[in-house]
Amino acid sequence: MDLLRFITAGSVDDGKSTLIGRLLYDTDSIKVDQLETIQKQSKNKGEGEIDLALFTDGLRAEREQGITIDVAYKYFATDKRKFIIADAPGHIQYTRNMVTGASNSDLIIILIDARLGVIEQTRRHSIIASLLQLPHVVVTINKMDMVDYSEEVFNSIVEEYSKMAATLNIKDVTFIPISALKGDNIVNPSENTPWYTGDTLLHLLENVDVVSDINFSESRFPVQYVIRPQSEDLHDYRGYAGKVLSGTYKKGDAVTVLPDGIESVIEAVEVHGQEVEEAFAPQSAVIRLKDDIDINRGDVIVTKTAHPKVSQDIEATICWMDNKPLVAGNKYLLQVQSRRVRCVVKEINFKLDVNTLEKHENISEAALNDVVHVTIKTASPIVYDNYLSLRANGGAILIDETAHTTVAGCMLN
């Protein structure tokens, strides 16, 4: 059974947590004791019916304020697929949380309040989805029950959003009229929207094609761990464990180990402890080579297909996530896959207005939630791809050297 990771995004009170609660509730994915607790809390609030948002608003502050603060991850499964949901905050000041949740997602659900239409946060979240190259965008127009399930309202929002999506080069967009509170078009088709003949939200989530999003032509295998048992039975065994980010690896393939550029041939491929003919993305595997060469954690094994970049001078678009501002000249650790190197942010080239995509130059520093383009110099070469061409090997993070906290998410250029 395959896995779909998706994120929900929308402005405050657009109904993100209620939507996720509805999905969990209608797919019987809630444990009995948790359901009883939520039913009791809902009763105490005097709302007369279960408060679905309480299934995801896990923090006390979130429940007290009725908002989402941190990214809340929820898991559920149907007969067709497993799901990991990232419930991202809607407030502008939590944009960094939304970027964090979206960076690992295959699909984004953007909620729009049918009464309000496309607003600033809708544009902001859509631009971030575009920057992160999320393959699938589902626009759920929520609270249709509050506009009498009006087809005209739905069509008007679809038209407005479609124009914006075209300017952002967002290609795969699906629109669904829903009421998360009432359950319209979430799991079952709604009798209140007879004019809508498309998929319900769950049917779309179960059937959206994520396999075709995987790059099977350019092979990238970052080494996470070197296996050397050095026992009597496995005296000469040397295997390289990691995850196939993209492409395939077969026994007999000629490969190059980057950044040093050492060439060899695959002697064996193992998956789940068994030798197999090939491993492919996104499998975890062990690769053994014919030559006894020095390979370390963070090195990348690639086949003879198009090679990634190897450089110490890197351009990147980053989302700043630290309360302390970013200033040119600051030193950090840059982590790309399993390689971590010291680096300095040499220059802040421009700041990107995530509401308009306008570039603001002559920027001296970046503040929390700013999206900026920077030039980075690393202490040693790193192996990476342009994020826009191979997302799996184009993401990175900046880490504070002292506090060891993540201060920025990076899309390498």
Q: Residues, the chain, total?
A: 413
Q: Report DSSP letters for 272-332, one per residue.
A: TTEEESEEETT-EEEEEESS-----TT-EEEESSS--EEEEEEEEEEEE--SSPEETT-EE
CATH classification at residue 177 = 3.40.50.300
Domain with 170 in it: 2-207
pLDDT in tens, 89-121: 656 656 677 777 777 789 999 999 999 999 888
CB 12 within 8 A of CB 112: no
With respect to residue 213, please indicate whether it lies within any of the assigned structural domains. Answer: no
Q: Which of 369, 320, 323 is nearest to 348 (CA)?
A: 320
Task: Among 267, 286, 303, give the residue marking a domain's end.
Answer: 303
Whether residues 99 and 174 share a domain: the answer is yes
What sign does the CA torsion over 397, 317, 370, 171 have? negative
Whether residues 263 and 170 share a domain: the answer is no
Hey, what amino acid is at 13? D
Whether residues 184 and 107 share a domain: the answer is yes
For 24, the 3-state DSSP assignment is helix
Whether residues 13 and 76 share a domain: the answer is yes
Question: Above pLDDT 90, what percent of the chain?
Answer: 55
Whether residues 12 and 105 share a domain: the answer is yes
Whose tokens are 């840059």? That residue is 334
Hey, what amino acid is at 75? Y
Name which of 3-7, 123-127, 406-410 the model is least confident about: 123-127
With respect to residue 257, please indicate whether it lies within any of the assigned structural domains. Answer: yes
What pLDDT does 406 receive? 87
With respect to residue 154, please indicate whether it lies within any of the assigned structural domains. Answer: yes
What pLDDT does 59 receive? 44
Whether residues 25 and 124 share a domain: the answer is yes
Which residues are CB-neighbours of 314 under 8 A, at least 6 positions away? 334, 375, 376, 377, 378, 382, 384, 412, 413
Whether residues 390 and 347 share a domain: the answer is yes
Whether residues 129 and 12 share a domain: the answer is yes
Count of domains in the chain? Answer: 3
CB 173 within 8 A of CB 137: yes
With respect to residue 212, please indicate whether it lies within any of the assigned structural domains. Answer: no
Distance, C-alpha 137 to centroid of its chain: 12
Whether residues 198 and 225 share a domain: the answer is no
What pLDDT does 46 receive? 55
Whether residues 61 and 174 share a domain: the answer is yes
Whether residues 199 and 50 share a domain: the answer is yes
- 328's tokens: 């040119």
Long-range contacts, 151-154 (Cβ 8 Å, 24+): 151/193, 151/195, 151/196, 153/114, 154/114, 154/193, 154/196
With respect to residue 46, please indicate whether it lies within any of the assigned structural domains. Answer: yes
Task: Among 207, 238, 264, give the residue marking a domain's end.
Answer: 207
Q: Report residue 345's pLDDT band, with 50, 70 and 90 as the boundaries.
A: very high
pLDDT in tens, 153-170: 999 999 999 998 988 888
With respect to residue 344, please indicate whether it lies within any of the assigned structural domains. Answer: yes
With respect to residue 347, please indicate whether it lies within any of the assigned structural domains. Answer: yes
With respect to residue 379, please indicate whether it lies within any of the assigned structural domains. Answer: yes
Gyration radius of the chain's alpha carbons = 23
- 80's tokens: 């067709």
CATH classification at residue 378 = 2.40.30.10
What pLDDT does 60 receive? 44
pLDDT in tens, 182-213: 999 999 999 999 999 999 999 999 999 888 77
Long-range contacts, 252-255 (Cβ 8 Å, 24+): 253/303, 253/304, 254/303, 254/304, 255/289, 255/301, 255/302, 255/303, 255/304
Whether residues 251 and 163 share a domain: the answer is no
